[in-house]
Amino acid sequence: MIAELLSRDGLATRNCLSCEDLAREMAAGAGAALVTEESLSEGDTGALVLWLSQQPSWSDFPFILLATKRSGPRPKEAQALLERLGNLVVLERPIHRETLARAVSAALRARGRQYQARRHLRQLQKAEERLRHLNDTLEARIAERTVELARANDLLMQEIAERERAQAALVQSQKMEAVGQLTGGIAHDFNNLLTVIAGNLDLIQRKSDDRTIATMAGHGLEAANRASKLTRQLLAFSRTQRLILKPVDINAMLESLHHFLPRSLGPEYGIALRLDSQRPWALADSNQLELAVINLALNARDAMPAGGTVQIESSRRFSPGSDLPEDDYVVVAVTDTGAGIPSEIINRVFDPFFTTKPTGKGTGLGLSQVYGIAKQSGGTARVDSHEGLGTTVEIWLPRAPAATDAAAEPMVSASCGAHRELRILVVEDDAGVRRYMGECLEALGHGVVVASDGYQALEQLEADAPDLLIIDYAMPGITGVEVIEAARAMAPDLPILMATGYADMGAVSRVIGADQLLRKPFQILDLQKAIAQVLSPDGGPARPAKATGRS
């Protein structure tokens, strides 16, 4: 009857026939229990009491006890059982239906609040576990974050250092560019002076019958030739010369450097030459190759701050392929006994602006220049280094057949009719060089017309028809290249020879070939050979005729 009444109020009920059944339903999730006092006194309440004793801390299961009206107190056993039930509401019978419904609703609300408390408790427990986990891992996370911050800081410092190095390299490069431009200008004027000095010493030596005077002139000419070599190295440093590839006697070149390098390296450093006994010849630009070897020798010196020996070696090698075509090559190797190059940076040593030297001690362009010279010559550059043992840098160059020494052939006599007389227009702004060239050409039996600048040269071309134009590059007003372009428009077939010690080779290469270029300083034999080369009908080297006397 009670179940039917409660169901009218929308409450789901389950009837239990014993205390054991009641304990099972309570464990299954009942919200409240409505029991009669008789069922508790007559049945076995052990299972019910056990379940109640095992309730979690948040649970206080509600009971509604339907009791009979008594005139006196309950027995002690019954009173003790009621106390064990805990959350108990006693309703005496008879009871009104509404009172019963309200009591059951109140018990269910109380149980609902207990479930809500359970949810809150579990949330608190989870939060406590998370907090405990955070506390337990706090030091580890701090250490991990510290490592990450340290790593990020290291990367930032590396980037800052790299940027500073790049900035310093840029500033140093700008300085070196300015020095190179200044060097080129100085070399131009110095070449003009050397042309006059060396040329006149050569004429004195050739024309003098006094052995003492000829010997003294020879000594002066030797010194002038060394100065000429130094000037060529300055021009190579200023990068105003393009590569002119010719057969080079590698052993002879290294032997000549052997006398120059000790003064550059200093007294604490020795030089050991190990030269191939079969005297290999390579295809290269001798001036640029000398500059490359000097750069490597200076790098080897810097790698041995306490002093040591720089070994320079020539050899012939075979390349099986890889970075070079399969062929025979000539190798120039420079070795030091310094600290070596770390393996992690050895692949960057040929990169432009990469240097391990302090700021101001290097531009980062030395090895990249060596690599560029080797590649332009048709070879390559390689490096082999071991930390603590030293470094070897190799320049691989294509092999070339040995060249004949054409300079050893006698000069054509002015009185000899081995060649026709030419009318030559000489355009040179330096009066000393202009006078010297005129004397040389007249000694060779040619007629000479001179002009001191490009404008006079164009006027002479309009007024006369010379057989050959010999012109300087750097002149006031207009350059030699501009004069050549105008001359080609006026006389397309006019042979042209440019005699210069300093030129914008990019502009020069647009108007003349390498066989039309005579570098200052030069001597009378060089001038004669250059004229023969330009006038050769097949465009190849013209062989001078045999001389019958001294010019």
Name which of 503, 533, 516, 527 is nearest 235 in CA terms. 503
Taking every pair of Cα atoms in the chain, the longest distance, rounded to a whole number of angstroms, is 169
Domain assignment present for residue 174? The answer is: no
- What per-residue confidence (pLDDT) applies to 414? 37
Domain assignment present for residue 50? The answer is: yes
Q: What is the DSSP letter of 499?
A: E
Say whether both 363 and 461 belong to one domain.
Answer: no
Q: At what angle do helices 97-207 and 524-535 cross, to 10 degrees?
A: 110
Query: Cα–chain-centroid distance for residue 68?
Result: 101
Say whether both 320 and 269 belong to one domain.
Answer: yes
**Distances, alpha carbon 225 to alpha carbons 187, 206, 222, 436, 523, in Å:** 14, 16, 5, 17, 10
Say whether both 378 and 474 belong to one domain.
Answer: no
Alpha-carbon Rg for the chain, nearest whole angstrom, is 53
The residues, ordered by sequence, that sit 6+ positions from 7 with a Cβ below 8 Å of its Cβ are: 13
Say whether both 486 and 355 belong to one domain.
Answer: no
Task: Give the domain-ending residue among 95, 111, 135.
Answer: 95
Say whether both 326 and 438 belong to one domain.
Answer: no
Helix, strand, coil percent content, the chain, rounded in steps of 5:
50, 15, 30
- Per the rule left: phi > 0, alpha: psi between -120 and 50, beta: everything else, 247 is beta
Say whether both 385 and 252 belong to one domain.
Answer: yes
Separation CA 63–CA 221 (nearest Å): 130
Domain assignment present for residue 225? The answer is: no
Domain assignment present for residue 133? The answer is: no
**Distances, alpha carbon 337 to alpha carbons 268, 296, 311, 406, in Å:** 14, 13, 9, 41
Say whether both 328 and 422 belong to one domain.
Answer: no
Say whether both 318 and 389 belong to one domain.
Answer: yes
Domain assignment present for residue 549? The answer is: no
Say whether both 336 and 383 belong to one domain.
Answer: yes
Judge whether 93 and 65 are in contact, CB under 8 Å: no
Pairing of strands 87-93, 62-68: parallel
What's the domain range around 271?
A: 245-398
Q: Report the CATH number at residue 528.
A: 3.40.50.2300
Domain assignment present for residue 149? The answer is: no
Q: In what order do the strands lie in the sheet with 390-398?
A: 269-274, 308-319, 327-336, 390-398, 380-386
Say whether both 357 and 495 belong to one domain.
Answer: no
- What per-residue confidence (pLDDT) applies to 241? 53
Q: At what angle do helices 97-207 and 211-238 cross, to 10 degrees?
A: 160
- What per-residue confidence (pLDDT) applies to 357? 57
Q: What is the DSSP letter of 408?
A: G
Task: Give the domain-ending residue among 95, 124, 154.
Answer: 95
Separation CA 490–CA 58 (nearest Å): 115
Task: Give the domain-ending residue among 372, 398, 424.
Answer: 398
As to burial, measured by CB atoms within 10 angstroms (0-12 exposed, 13-18 middle, 19+ buried), residue 278 is exposed
What tokens appear for 464 in the block? Answer: 């006369």
Q: Report the CATH number at residue 42.
A: 3.40.50
Judge whether 314 and 275 are in contact, CB under 8 Å: yes
What tokens appear for 243 in the block? Answer: 């590569």
Name which of 229, 245, 248 is nearest 237 in CA terms. 229
Q: What is the DSSP letter of 498?
A: E
Say whether both 499 and 380 belong to one domain.
Answer: no
- Residue 379, SS3? coil
Place of tokens 């049945």: 43
Separation CA 111–CA 434 (nearest Å): 121
Name which of 502, 247, 258 is nearest 377 in CA terms. 247
Q: Which residues, listed in sequence order, are joined to residue 517 by a DSSP beta bridge?
A: 498
- What per-residue confidence (pLDDT) applies to 352? 57
Separation CA 200–CA 217 (nearest Å): 9
Q: Which residues, listed in sequence order, are joined to residue 471 by a DSSP beta bridge?
A: 427, 498
- Based on the structure, what is the number of domains in the chain? 3
Domain assignment present for residue 137? The answer is: no
Say whether both 299 and 346 belong to one domain.
Answer: yes
Q: Report the CATH number at residue 352.
A: 3.30.565.10
Handedness of CA 37, 43, 45, 48 (dihedral sign): negative
Separation CA 63–CA 32 (nearest Å): 6
- What per-residue confidence (pLDDT) applies to 107? 92
Q: Spell out a b/e string for 11-43, using b for 16 or more CB atoms within 10 Å of the CB, else e.
A: eeeeebeebbebbeebeeebbbbbbebebbeeb
Q: Which residues of the chain have pLDDT under 70?
A: 71, 169, 172-173, 175-185, 188, 229-243, 351-366, 404-420, 502-505, 537-551
Domain assignment present for residue 530? The answer is: yes
